[in-house]
Amino acid sequence: MVLVLVMIVTLYPFVNILAQSFSGEAFITSGQVNLVPRGFNLDTYGTVMGDRLFWVNYRNTVVYTVVATAIAMVLTTTFAYAISKKHLRGRGLFIGLAVFTMFFNGGLIPNYVLINELGMTNTIWAIVIPNAISVFNLLVMKSFFENMPEELEEAAAIDGLSTYGTLLRIVLPLSKAVIATMVLFYAVSFWNSWFTAFLYLDDAELYPVTVYLRNLIAGATTASSLGAGGEGAAQVSANIQSVTMVLTVLPIVLLYPFVQKYFVSGIMLGSVKG
């Protein structure tokens, strides 16, 4: 019963937003939309999805997310595996440097100057490189690797495997659970990110879809507040936030079922079987 209540509380906001995205402006503003659309309306979806730039930006988001997640996983996995070894020289220094960046950074202006001086503005690298390693994800993977039985790697070394061979052929196959979790964490983070692109990209053709939708919200809100565009502007203004959230979260919702199985079945993958 408790789990059912938790499920209802969790699903209600999403279903409500989905219903609002298909509802008329008057019903939303009057608070009449709960779980079922009222005054069925597809004008906002048509406005957003009928624009060529929307699909260009959506493609950009897919490319940025895939490339950034791949780079982040390679860097995070190799870094976490290295600092999980207690015999690594300077291990404490590397861990300390990583943790330090969780609390201190150069600030917005120095970061922008650095990216600009490196020539990465208006390129994909401005999106995928600065946030390539999440220290939280790094520490989670480090703890996972530390808890793996040392006997597995010792046996691999006896069989002649190098450090890289052990990582690729022994450790990673037994780490599907944590890898799947980190892929989901990184993919969600990069997919929803908009500020980095807003800061480093000037060409609208390079924007991810989150920036496109952010600009659409800003434009619709401004037009509505100024009374421009009549009923059409008010319609878009009332529906745009719910449509934005639905379009943004949909790919992640579709991806999750394929990753979720590893959260359950992958827990015991690193155990030693007698």
Q: Is the pLDDT of residue 231 over 60?
A: no
Q: Give the contacts of 143 (CB within 8 A, at least 6 positions apart).
A: 84
Q: 96 with 30, same domain?
A: no
Averaged pLDDT score across all residues of the chain: 82
> pLDDT by residue (tens digit) across 70-94?
999 999 999 999 999 888 888 899 9
Based on the fold, state whether residues 77 and 165 are members of the same structural domain: yes
Same domain, 100 and 158: yes
Q: Name the pTM for this structure.
A: 0.82
Segment 160-171 shows an average pLDDT of 85
Shared domain for 232 and 109, answered yes or no, is yes
Residue 183 CA to residue 181 CA, distance in Å, equals: 5
Percent of the residues in the chain that have a pLDDT greater than 90, as a whole number: 25
CATH code, 177: 1.10.3720.10
pLDDT in tens, 178-218: 888 888 889 989 998 889 999 999 888 999 988 888 887 77
In terms of domains, do 35 and 73 share one? no
Same domain, 23 and 68: no
272 domain-assigned: no
Are 35 and 92 contained in the same domain?
A: no
- The Cα–Cα gap between 126 and 184 comes to 21
Place of tokens 């959506």: 58
Same domain for 247 and 153?
yes
3-class state of residue 44 by DSSP:
helix
> Which residue range is the domain that position 29 belongs to?
1-41
What is the number of structural domains in the chain?
2
Specify whether 73 is located in the same domain as 133.
Answer: yes
pLDDT digits (tens, 9 = 90+) for 102-150: 888 878 888 999 999 999 999 999 999 988 999 999 998 898 888 888 8
Task: In whole angstroms, give the CA distance from residue 190 to residue 184.
Answer: 10
Predicted pLDDT of residue 18: 86
Same domain, 153 and 19: no
Write out pLDDT tens, residues 55-70. 899 999 999 999 999 9
Same domain, 190 and 93: yes
Q: What does the alpha-carbon distance between residue 251 and residue 54 come to, in Å, rounded to a whole number?
A: 15
